Chains A and B, each alone.
Chain A
Amino acid sequence: MTPTILDRSRNNVSGHQIFDSYFSNSQLPIIKGIRDKDMKLGLPEVTEVEIIRHYTNLTNDAFGVDNGTYPLGSCTMKYNPKRNDKLSQLAGFQKSHPLQPKKTLNGLWQFMYEMQIYLAELLGMDAFSLQPAAGAHGELAGIYIIQKYFEAERKEQRNTILVADSAHGTNPASASMAGFECKIIQTDKQGLMDIEMLKKMLDTNVAALMLTNPSTLGLFEKNIIEIAKLIHKNGSLLYYDGANLNAIMGITRPGDMGFDIAHINTHKTLSTPHGGGGPGAGPVGVKQFLRSYLPIPIADKNGEIYFPNYKLPNTIGRIKANYGHIDVLLKAYCYILTNGPQGLKETTENAVLNANYLQIKLKEILPPVFNKLCMHECLLNGDILKVSAYTFVKRLIDYGIHPPTLVGAGCVYFSDDLGSAILMEPTETETKETLDEMVMIFRQILDEVKENEDFIKNAPHSKNVSQIPFMAQEII
């Protein structure tokens, strides 16, 4: 293992330039709980060049979209445009304090206001809050809105949230975090939500159904109109997990499908970088009848004046300090403006085209689980591989491709009968050439399996560490 920054520490060196010629008192103040001079924390002492080399070397053993193809299903690992990064770092935003007098942040309010409107249009909702910090946080906000709505408006106790068995783990986790009971609806033979089962499960306890459309199986829930009707007839609400929005921009909108609440993951569809796990952003939108429940503040406009509006009568309150992940949201805003309406639609078209192309091209090696067109990602069956899907895709690492999503490795969950399923989401920013190359590599790995099964079983072979077993035991 590479030494840690702590291992590199030496006495009496430093990287910092921390001094002030006027204030240089080294006398410790008398405060309760003061840490004496000889009580060290154990922070490292290293020079600036050592820090830069240490971290630069660490980045060399990491893999981003800028390094290569990243078909990680459900994560929408598209290219993150550089101009967005640059423009998110303008001093007027980067160096603004959140608690400045309102009138010194007019640019912030205007940006937020416009962003809310763009997102509302993109998702077919009426109002948006930019506050949630990630998709799961948007879900949580949505769940609190649902809870508050039944409490305040309907004066009803509804304790159940329905989720599909194919739903992302955050859906059931968000529901139970807010104290709801989760009930799971199964997937039918065609890979869609089992409507008959849904019908049976609807009762006056059901507050809402959370749904991803297209689902995490890469299929469009084509019964969505009927589902929405059933849900609303039952007096329940319909929540849209917007993680897969890249499949439908400009084609259809959650609002038009009948969803009442929706979030969008800007770090997926709107190209903001994932940062090795975050920060992302998960703005949450609602139909008009739920606007007054949104987290506060939202940006508002009065004549020509933009301002933060705290006066939403039924608000669930704050879900986070301040206004949201402004640095991240700025990148998403730049993305929308660069693409325009036509560009966003083409983004979706090409994302779906790429996924279907990949599905067809890989069909002999990895047949699609459901034998039909897919949306922006394709679910392939790894059962006919001679080695486990887990080790097969590890070999991709040696070829400079990030493995796709599998059970437990990636962000979605598949039921037992899909234990060796592989979810691939190429995104629209891969060229036909890179897709062809990827298919070729898959074939090559298949040949390698025939020649030397063990070699593939032990992949990857080009990295600083060897294969790490699934859910490996931790060494304490």
Chain B
Amino acid sequence: MYGYNTLNNNDKKLMLKEIGLETINSLFQDIPEPIRMIRQLNLPQPYSEWALEKKLVNLAKNNIHTDEYFCFLGGGYYNHFVPAVVDAIVNRSEFLTSYTPYQPEMSQGLLQALYEYQLLMAKITGLPIVSSSSYDGATALADAALMCDSIQKENKNQKLLVAKSIWPQYLEVLKTYMSGRKIEIEMIDYDIKTGMLNFDELRNQIQQENPVGFLFQSPNAFGIIEDIAKVTNICNNAKVISVLSFNPLTIGLLKTPGELGVDIVTGEGQPLGIHLNAGGSSLGILSTHSKYRQYIPGRLIGKVKDIKGNPAYSLVFENREQHVAREKANTNICSNQALNSIKSAIFLSYVGETGFRKLAMLNYEKTQYLMNNLLKLKDVELVFNGMVFNEFVIKFPISVKIIIEKMLSKKIFAGIEYKNISEIENTLLISVTEKLDKGDLDYYISSLKEILA
């Protein structure tokens, strides 16, 4: 007996007898001989619980993590704190071990938690419809692009305008997703001074290409906050759907994208109470207007009436989904990011209105502190002069590779190397979170000073 099997030999004998068989093997009589395995699987022999723990602990030890080194890495994933209440709730097995709530009568609590996620996230996006099914910030953006295509197929060219200043990984995912539908992607450049979108180019391209939508990011891949209202104005005038990829934490400080006229808001939910986990699992935020509800992929929770006429939560609008619409479904998503959306709902409840603002302020202030002090160092320059939130791009007089290496020996993850921005070399994207205190920030500054000296 290995693993988690719960039948003993006596059970097996009795059960086989009921079925009218002699051997376990005869249960598999439909499987033709030529494809039967005649050897054991070539996998490690079973581990005891303590041996398994040792194995995993050793693997984990071979990673250096963000409690060991000072983390100035961002790029869409941030070393924010995760309140203990989040882990306490999501480790409870009633949520953790349940399936998608296909049986609403016995899943009201789970449905309510997911419904509350929709309510809370709608406050952040400023748009009423929210689904918690996109796998991460990158696929949420790609899902939004597919929505644009479906909504606008009749009216527009199968083209998509995309800001150059979105995360490089997001662009890669987008290209993969668009390859099937044969949607052409055209890139919109950024202004080399501000790092913000090149609005003239955007205006021209929108006129010329008549695209199904325009995708951009704010803060963008250089950490620069875009003039969202200006973008949506340009898009609205041309009846082009605007799609934003955002960092939800910025809304502690900024107006909601919905309020600024964005049609589809997407983003990475990891900053809201989700551990880094080397980049996954996380949460794709996806939100839109009521009029586009039929196009949104994934699970939607709503209210229905039970047979006594009382209100109850349930999965709704399922005829959009694969298990009902099959090849006509608006997406193939089935298993999704439910538990991670509950994490961010708990996180938002925990920080609340005032805490959310405080947290965003702290991130902003600490970023400003680091940035301003770094700029005092000789030959250290900002690449762009646009406003930033929690990360910024710095140009160094020496090789960034050397800087990263030397900072690493001081237990600092110094930042993310950008190979080449507009022919500017040796640039680093440096990111700050609330978890870095003044001493940590000063240590970064003094270490860098030493390296540059």
Cα distance, A293 to B361, chains bound together (Å): 45
| Selected contact of A178 from candidates B35, B180, B310, B324, CB within 8 Å | B180
Contacts of A338 in B (CB 8 A): 3-4, 46-47, 49, 52
Cα distance, A110 to B349, chains bound together (Å): 38
Cα distance, A148 to B175, chains bound together (Å): 13
B278, A277: Cβ atoms under 8 Å? Answer: no
Least CB separation from B228: chain A residue: A33
Cα distance, A176 to B175, chains bound together (Å): 17
Q: How does the 8 Å CB contact mask read for A1-27 relative to B, with 1 for contact and 0 for none?
A: 110111001000011101110110110
Whether B89 sits at the interface, judged by CB under 8 Å, is: yes
Known: A178-B180, A256-B35, A472-B314. A72 touches B99 (CB 8 A): yes
Distance between B365 CB and nearest chain A CB, rounded to angstroms: 5
B369, A94: Cβ atoms under 8 Å? Answer: no
Whether A121 sits at the interface, judged by CB under 8 Å, is: yes
What would be 15 A-B contacts, judged by CB atoms less than 8 Å apart? A61-B110, A65-B93, A97-B279, A100-B73, A144-B176, A174-B332, A275-B340, A277-B100, A277-B336, A279-B340, A326-B281, A340-B47, A357-B19, A429-B5, A472-B304
Interface residues of A in 324-350 (CB under 8 A from B): 324-328, 330, 334, 336-347, 349-350
B333, A136: Cβ atoms under 8 Å? Answer: yes
Interface residues of A in 232-259 (CB under 8 A from B): 248-253, 256-257
The segment out of A75-83, A198-206, A441-449 that lies at the interface is A75-83
B77, A98: Cβ atoms under 8 Å? Answer: yes
B123, A340: Cβ atoms under 8 Å? Answer: no
Known: A62-B95, A92-B59. A474 touches B304 (CB 8 A): yes
B3, A465: Cβ atoms under 8 Å? Answer: no
The A/B interface has a contact count, at CB < 8 Å, of 684
Least CB separation from B78: chain A residue: A97
The segment out of B201-209, B252-260, B377-385 that lies at the interface is B252-260
Distance between A369 CB and nearest chain B CB, rounded to angstroms: 16
| Selected contact of A140 from candidates B2, B332, B339, CB within 8 Å | B332
Contacts of A172 in B (CB 8 A): 322, 326-327, 329
Interface residues of A in 43-60 (CB under 8 A from B): 43-46, 48, 51-52, 54-60
Contacts of B132 in A (CB 8 A): 277
Interface residues of A in 413-459 (CB under 8 A from B): 413, 428-432, 458
Whether A371 sits at the interface, judged by CB under 8 Å, is: no
Whether B453 sits at the interface, judged by CB under 8 Å, is: no
B260, A271: Cβ atoms under 8 Å? Answer: no
A134, B336: Cβ atoms under 8 Å? Answer: yes
Whether A150 sits at the interface, judged by CB under 8 Å, is: no
Distance between B55 CB and nearest chain A CB, rounded to angstroms: 7
Whether A189 sits at the interface, judged by CB under 8 Å, is: no
Contacts of A18 in B (CB 8 A): 351, 355, 358-359, 362, 434
A170, B36: Cβ atoms under 8 Å? Answer: no
Q: Determine chain A's interface SS by DSSP, over half rule.
A: loop
Distance between A242 CB and nearest chain B CB, rounded to angstroms: 13
Q: How does the 8 Å CB contact mask read for A73-115 relative to B, with 1 for contact and 0 for none?
A: 0010111110101010011111111111100111110110000
How many residues on chain B are close to A (CB under 8 Å)? 193
Cα distance, A129 to B350, chains bound together (Å): 37
Whether A356 sits at the interface, judged by CB under 8 Å, is: yes
Known: A101-B413, A322-B279, A343-B46. A55 touches B97 (CB 8 A): no
B45, A340: Cβ atoms under 8 Å? Answer: yes
Contacts of A105 in B (CB 8 A): 63-64, 278
Contacts of B28 in A (CB 8 A): 220, 251, 352
A337, B279: Cβ atoms under 8 Å? Answer: no
B278, A93: Cβ atoms under 8 Å? Answer: yes
| Selected contact of A317 from candidates B73, B176, B362, CB within 8 Å | B176
Cα distance, A177 to B277, chains bound together (Å): 29
Known: A34-B253, A277-B335, A317-B172. A169 touches B322 (CB 8 A): yes
Whether A182 sits at the interface, judged by CB under 8 Å, is: yes
| Selected contact of A59 from candidates B92, B136, B253, B356, CB within 8 Å | B92
Contacts beyond the supplied A18-B362, A34-B253, A281-B281: 11 A-B pairs with Cβ under 8 Å: A4-B119, A14-B354, A35-B255, A48-B85, A61-B106, A93-B60, A137-B333, A316-B179, A325-B281, A346-B5, A469-B307
A346, B2: Cβ atoms under 8 Å? Answer: yes
The segment out of B7-15, B235-243, B443-451 that lies at the interface is B7-15
Distance between A48 CB and nearest chain B CB, rounded to angstroms: 6
Cα distance, A353 to B356, chains bound together (Å): 53
B95, A59: Cβ atoms under 8 Å? Answer: yes
| Selected contact of A176 from candidates B2, B172, B328, CB within 8 Å | B328
Whether B438 sits at the interface, judged by CB under 8 Å, is: yes
Cα distance, A85 to B90, chains bound together (Å): 11
| Selected contact of B255 from candidates A34, A83, A85, A175, CB within 8 Å | A34
Cα distance, A55 to B251, chains bound together (Å): 25
| Selected contact of A5 from candidates B88, B349, B359, CB within 8 Å | B349
| Selected contact of A321 from candidates B73, B138, B175, CB within 8 Å | B138
